[in-house]
Amino acid sequence: MWRGLIVHGIPLAIAIGAALLLLPWIMGASAIQGDAGSQGYTVGMAALFLYPAAYQILIIAWGICRWRQWSLQRVFLQLIWLSLLLFAGAMSYAVVQLQDYLLATADQVDAIAQIAVPLGA
């Protein structure tokens, strides 16, 4: 039971999380078109869109193989985990590409906050 929960639960939870993160990611990506971090946002958006879609296709194929008692079940489980690893790699790359842009943006927000505090006091 625990093995099945781990084998199917972890990729499912990550696919749901990726699908939920897609809209805020798109909204953030539209704000920096053409800036230094745009490649990171593009890679991240592709990963957030493609992983849940790949998971849905692979889990349906796995279910059909299990139902028909075909021997390809393990292949589809391995493909699910491979797509999860590729998703993790793509998101890591996207975050590394965005790191400088996000740090610069955070510095700008801090500078604006320091200016605004004396004006409000």
Torsions phi, psi for 39 (to 5 deg): -65, -40
Q: Cα–Cα distance between 86 and 47 in angstroms, integer?
A: 8
* Per-residue pLDDT tens over the stretch 21-80: 988 888 877 676 666 678 888 899 999 999 999 999 999 999 999 999 999 989 999 999
pTM: 0.80
Q: What is the DSSP letter of 71?
A: T
pLDDT at 4: 76
* Per-residue pLDDT tens over the stretch 40-52: 888 999 999 999 9
